[in-house]
Amino acid sequence: MTERTMDRNRDNDVPLEKKLDDLYELIDGIETAMLTTRRPDGRLVSRPMQTQRRTAGTDLWFMSNVETHKFDELAFDPNVNVAYYRDRTREWVSVSGTALLTRDRDLVQGLYRPDWRAWLGDMGGERDGGPGDPRIVLILVEAQSVTYSKKDRPLPMVLFEIAKGIVTGQPPRAADLRELGEQELRRAMAREQAREIGG
């Protein structure tokens, strides 16, 4: 998508609630994310991760094995990007943030899923892939900015926009491109936390 097309598709004049509802629908509906970190040699590397939970606002939890290379990378540079892509609709989300690592046993117990065993393997003893496995570490990505593309148009309308763009030379308006900055994300977090307290 070119800058010209992105500018044409920008749609930030929607209420924060609508932006968040559409964003949450995308994140919650896409099983695999790509987490991008920076290696100590400066190069970027991405790997598939499964979102374990989205917190109030857009902070994201992931589970990993402490024995992987990503921990050296996060120690070198905790700035990360998490990208989601839905092939069927070509919608996507890009979350830029800071990664924090924790081995808090209560958090691990709260987020634990039996399928983690498949990714960790059973090495015997307490390294059995269960909730007490010392290899389990949680990664919290604290979102600082979010950009996403959401399609609210039926496919025939999108195809018409593309055909019109070919004829007129104008970039098509095929999706809505929205951005959330750090202040909006913090307002969203405060709002959700207030809702949880209020019941």
State residue 155's pLDDT score: 65
Q: Is the pLDDT of residue 87 over 90?
A: no
User: Does some domain include residue 49?
Assistant: yes
User: Does some domain include residue 199?
Assistant: no
Q: What is the mean pLDDT of the chain?
A: 85
Residues 53-71 pLDDT 10s: 887 667 899 999 988 888 8
Residue 134, Cβ neighbours under 10 Å: how many? 11
User: Does some domain include residue 196?
Assistant: no
Say which CATH number the domain at 137 has.
2.30.110.10
Q: Which domain holds residue 90?
A: 3-191
The answer to whether 19 touches 178, Cβ cutoff 8 Å, is yes
Q: Is the pLDDT of residue 134 over 60?
A: yes
Q: Rounded to the nearest 5°, which phi and psi values hold at 49?
A: -140, 155
Mean pLDDT of 164-188: 81
State residue 6's pLDDT score: 46
User: Does some domain include residue 51?
Assistant: yes
Write the Ramachandran bin of 90: left for phi over 0, alpha for psi from -120 to 50, otherwise beta.
left
User: Does some domain include residue 168?
Assistant: yes
Count of domains for the chain: 1
Task: Output the 3-class SS for the chain.
Answer: CCHHHHHHHECCCCCHHHHHHHHHHHHHHCCEEEEEEECCCCCEEEEEEEEEEECCCCCEEEEEECCCCHHHHHHHCCEEEEEEEECCCCEEEEEEEEEEEECCHHHHHHHCCCCHHHHHCCCCCCCCCCCCCCCEEEEEEEEEEEEEEECCCCHHHHHHHHHHHHHHCCCCCCCEEEEECHHHHHHHHHHHHHHHHHC
User: Does some domain include residue 198?
Assistant: no
The first and second tokens of residue 66, run together, are 């402490």
User: Does some domain include residue 83?
Assistant: yes
Cα-Cα-Cα-Cα torsion 113, 118, 85, 93, nearest 10 degrees, comes to 40
State residue 43's pLDDT score: 94
**Dihedral over Cα of 176, 79, 131, 67: its sign:** positive
> Using CA atoms, how far apart are residues 30 and 33, in angstroms rounded to an integer?
7
User: Does some domain include residue 45?
Assistant: yes
Residues 37-54 pLDDT 10s: 999 999 999 999 999 988
